Amino acid sequence: MRSFIRHYLLALQFFSRVPVTGRLADWVGFSPAMLRASAAHFPGVGWLVGSVVALLTWGLLVLLPAGPFAPLVAATLGTALSVVMTGAFHEDGLADVADGLGGSYNRERALEIMKDSRVGAFGAIAVMLALLCKVALLAMLGSLSMGLMVAGVFAAHVVSRTWPLLTIRLLPHVGDSAVSKSKPLAAQISLPALGVAHLWCFMALALVGFSPDAMHLVAETGSPSINLWPLWGLATGFSVLAWAWMHRWFAQRLQGFTGDCLGAAQQVSEIAFYLGLALAWGLWPAGAVP
């Protein structure tokens, strides 16, 4: 348990701006081996980020005046909070990948561009569109059901942080080993670590399937016999497909991945989760879910 907590706190330290400093940081410690082990808790970081964003979203939906713009305000501020909590870590990866792969078809040149700290047109447009997609889809979910929006934002942050770990397992790291912060993570990820990561993911999906938010969603529909699992199943399926597309893109264009690729895959998978959830509601409207 002590190792579990230390590895989780190290994951928080690496993947978020949640303060793990001072004596706590000294207790956690650091080594490349520990950082590799902490990758198993990447979805666990999503638990914390998703929970805080979901709590803010719920509070805003309850406190704001009822109206068509309340979900939009909640979606915007919730998305802003997620960016603050992660230090735009994943958005930065998306921008670098868009600049690199959008700026050159040459593999070496693309990798060179991705290492440049400056943001180009492709990167700026990609981040802008990603944020717009998140806000728009979350606002749509909120207009359908408060419970659906709150549970969805929590689950998306966990699920979308699971699939990039498969890229670490399946592709070689092609970043600059001398300066890459992700190199210790990318060097190795064991099957037990993947098992822990997927357990984080499964527990999140189980929670939204049986949580008070989910029960609130049932109450809103007026159909106590409604089965919510097709909603979460399709959303997760969309998230997996988005990751698979990104993974294939990295394999074809880079013959591997960098730390930026992991962030980009997380962002696209998160957006796909929201899209899948919205489409699932359309396919199985309230009272008609099998």
Question: Pick from 147, 140, 105, 145: which is nearest to 122 by CA?
Answer: 105
Position 227 scores a pLDDT of 62
Share of the chain above pLDDT 90, in %: 58
The gap from C-alpha 237 to its chain's centroid, in whole angstroms, comes to: 14
Residue linked to tokens 């962002």: 267
Give the model confidence (pLDDT) of 84-128 as tens digits: 999 988 999 999 999 999 988 899 999 999 988 888 899 999 999
Residue linked to tokens 């106590």: 224
In whole angstroms, give the CA distance from residue 168 to residue 13: 20
Kindly report the number of other CB atoms within 10 A of residue 21's CB atom.
Answer: 10
Give the model confidence (pLDDT) of 118-135 as tens digits: 888 999 999 999 999 999
Residue linked to tokens 């699971």: 162
Position 177 scores a pLDDT of 56
3-state helix/strand/coil string of the chain: CHHHHHHHHHHHHHHCCCCCCHHHHHHHCCCHHHHHHHHHHHHHHHHHHHHHHHHHHHHHHHHCCCCCCHHHHHHHHHHHHHHHHHCCHHHHHHHHHHHHHHHCCCHHHHHHHHHCCCCCHHHHHHHHHHHHHHHHHHHHHHHHCHHHHHHHHHHHHHHCCCCHHHHHHHCCECCCCCCCCCHHHHCCCCHHHHHHHHHHHHHHHHHHHHCHHHHHHHHHHCCCCCCCHHHHHHHHHHHHHHHHHHHHHHHHHHCCECHHHHHHHHHHHHHHHHHHHHHHHHHCCCCCCC
The mean predicted confidence, pLDDT, of the chain is 87
In whole angstroms, give the CA distance from residue 222 to residue 216: 10
CA max distance for the chain: 58
Position 111 scores a pLDDT of 92
- Beta-bridge mates of residue 173: 257
Give the model confidence (pLDDT) of 269-283 as tens digits: 999 999 999 998 887
User: Does this model's pTM top 0.85?
Assistant: yes
CA end-to-end distance (rounded Å), the chain = 41
Give the model confidence (pLDDT) of 1-26 as tens digits: 778 888 888 888 888 888 887 888 77
Using pLDDT thresholds of 50, 70 and 90, give the confidence band for residue 220.
Answer: low
